[in-house]
């Protein structure tokens, strides 16, 4: 059994890590960290967690000292210091935030308004969407877990980009996220009367996930690509739907596109290519580590339309982080992740 700790355990993604790791057969949740609630029991904040994990919330250093694997589920800017301590103690860090996602420090500076303080550390980290990068993960010391929107988008575009059937310069992405994507902190936009019965784009063509999306697309294509990305806040608790538009280089039938995707994702346990004529729906992935992809061709305009949906808390955060942990430790990639979607 591996002793695992979660820093930022009281946050939304932290609590989701507890929920999923509780069912992992090779993991023992050893320590939970909190700054604001240190010394209190986690069930004082989340009564649903009574009896299923250690209760006392510890300081960050106590979590690192007690565990072999550490998940940092904290705001960006906090994880470099945690990463240094983990590397120095030869422990595995999986960071759910943005501190180890971008390979170009200039991108981090521009989009997150922060600088890498410990550049050496970043040479020891890998960014991993398992379906695209799994061969890099085994033996890694720090894993930068992807953002929620970029996960849905990269998985939605990968087969078409890899097969060179779309023009990457024509990609336009329209995404919608549930409110848990904003985290537990209070803000006006996630305040109930403001988000309920409302639906609006935000950070139009200026969201900080843009460089991460472009980084992955550019790596697949082999040259720098710019995309247009517009996120929306959807008044549901969890789930992301990304609708991705691009021009086909040459006309393809819906059947041909479907065959391409089905072939590319053959054998992938967490990517489900939907049948022709079906449309992906976040309702079908809630609570699970699945990414559902539906494929549509606008034959009049020669556009490919991909709809990719995930649960932002699972495939977009905690589930994917555990998938990465499994890869890093040499466990079966799906271990502890057989979470059937909630039907209602």
Ligand X SMILES: NC(=O)C1=CN([C@@H]2O[C@H](COP(=O)(O)OP(=O)(O)OC[C@H]3O[C@@H](n4cnc5c(N)ncnc54)[C@H](OP(=O)(O)O)[C@@H]3O)[C@@H](O)[C@H]2O)C=CC1
Ligand Y SMILES: CC(=O)N[C@@H](CCC(=O)OP(=O)(O)O)C(=O)O
- Residue 254's binding partner out of ligand Y, ligand X, none, with CB under 5 to 8 Å set by partner kind: none
Task: Starting at the earlier edge strand, list the strands of the sheet with 92-95.
Answer: 57-58, 27-33, 2-7, 69-72, 92-95, 142-144, 125-127
Closest CA relative to residue 209, chosen from 287, 137, 134, 127: 127
DSSP annotation string for 299-319: TTTTEEEEEEEE-TTIIIIIH
- Whole-number Å distance between alpha carbons of 250 and 254: 13
Instruction: List the single partner that 233 binds among ligand Y, ligand X, none, CB under 5 to 8 Å by kind.
Output: ligand Y
Of 303-322, binders to ligand X (CB under 6 A) are 312-313, 316-317
Would you please indicate which residues are annotated as catalytic (active-site) residues? 148
278 phi and psi, to 5 degrees? -90, 155
Rounded least distance, CB 160 to ligand X, Å: 24
Return the residues of window 51-110 that contact ligand Y according to CB under 6 A: 76, 97-98
In the complex, what is the shortest distance from the CB of residue 278 to ligand Y, in angstroms, rounded to a whole number?
Answer: 26
Q: How many helices (H) and strands (E) in the chain?
A: 12, 14
Going by C-beta distance under 8 Å and a sequence separation of 6 or more, which residues neighbour residue 320?
A: 129, 130, 145, 146, 151, 289, 314
Q: Give the one residue of 5, 6, 10, 225 binding ligand X; rule: CB under 6 A.
A: 10
Candidate residues 20, 161, 233, 314; the one interacting with ligand Y per rule CB under 6 A: 233
Partner that binds at residue 329, options ligand X, ligand Y, none, CB closer than 5 to 8 Å by kind: none
What are residue 292's DSSP bridge partners?
272, 309
The whole-angstrom separation of Cα 177 and Cα 52 is: 29
| Cβ(72)–Cβ(61) below 8 Å | no
174 to 233, contacts with ligand X by CB under 6 A?
180-181, 183-185
User: Which residue's Cβ has the minimum distance to ligand Y?
Assistant: 181
User: Site mask, ligand X, residues 15-34, x = CB under 6 A?
Assistant: -------------------x
Residues that bind ligand Y (CB under 6 A): 76, 97-98, 147-148, 177, 181-182, 209, 231, 233
Residues that bind ligand X (CB under 6 A): 7-8, 10-14, 34-37, 60, 73-76, 78, 96-97, 147-148, 180-181, 183-185, 312-313, 316-317
């Amino acid at each position: 059994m591996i002793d695992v700790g979660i820093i930022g355990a009281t946050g939304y993604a932290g609590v989701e890590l507890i929920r999923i790791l509780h069912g992992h057969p090779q993991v023992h949740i050893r320590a939970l960290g909190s700054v604001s609630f240190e010394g209190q029991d986690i069930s004082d904040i989340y009564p649903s967690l009574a009896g299923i994990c250690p209760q006392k919330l510890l300081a960050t250093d106590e979590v690192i000292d007690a565990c072999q694997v550490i998940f940092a589920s904290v705001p960006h800017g906090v994880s470099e210091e945690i990463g240094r301590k983990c590397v120095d103690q030869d422990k595995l860090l999986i960071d759910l935030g943005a501190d180890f996602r971008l390979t170009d420090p200039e991108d981090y500076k521009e989009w997150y308004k922060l600088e890498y303080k410990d550049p050496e550390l970043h040479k020891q980290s890998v960014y991993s969407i398992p379906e695209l990068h799994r061969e890099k993960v085994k033996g890694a010391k720090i894993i930068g877990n992807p953002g929620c929107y970029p996960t849905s988008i990269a998985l939605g575009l990968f087969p078409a980009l890899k097969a060179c059937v779309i023009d990457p310069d024509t990609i336009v992405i329209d995404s919608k996220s549930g409110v848990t994507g904003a985290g537990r902190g209070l803000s006006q936009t996630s305040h109930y009367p403001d988000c309920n019965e409302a639906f609006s784009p935000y950070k139009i063509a200026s969201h900080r996930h843009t460089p991460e999306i472009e980084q992955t697309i550019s790596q697949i294509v082999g040259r720098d690509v710019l995309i247009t990305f517009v996120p929306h806040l959807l008044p549901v608790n969890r789930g992301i739907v990304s609708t991705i538009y691009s021009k086909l280089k040459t006309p393809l039938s819906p059947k041909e596109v479907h065959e391409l995707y089905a072939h590319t994702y053959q054998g992938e346990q967490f990517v489900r290519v939907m049948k022709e004529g079906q449309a992906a729906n976040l309702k079908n992935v809630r609570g699970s580590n699945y990414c559902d992809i539906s494929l549509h061709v606008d034959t009049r305009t020669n556009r490919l339309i991909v709809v990719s949906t995930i649960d932002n808390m699972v495939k977009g955060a905690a589930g994917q982080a555990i998938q990465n942990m499994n890869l890093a430790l040499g466990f079966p990639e799906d271990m502890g992740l057989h979470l059937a979607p909630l039907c209602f």
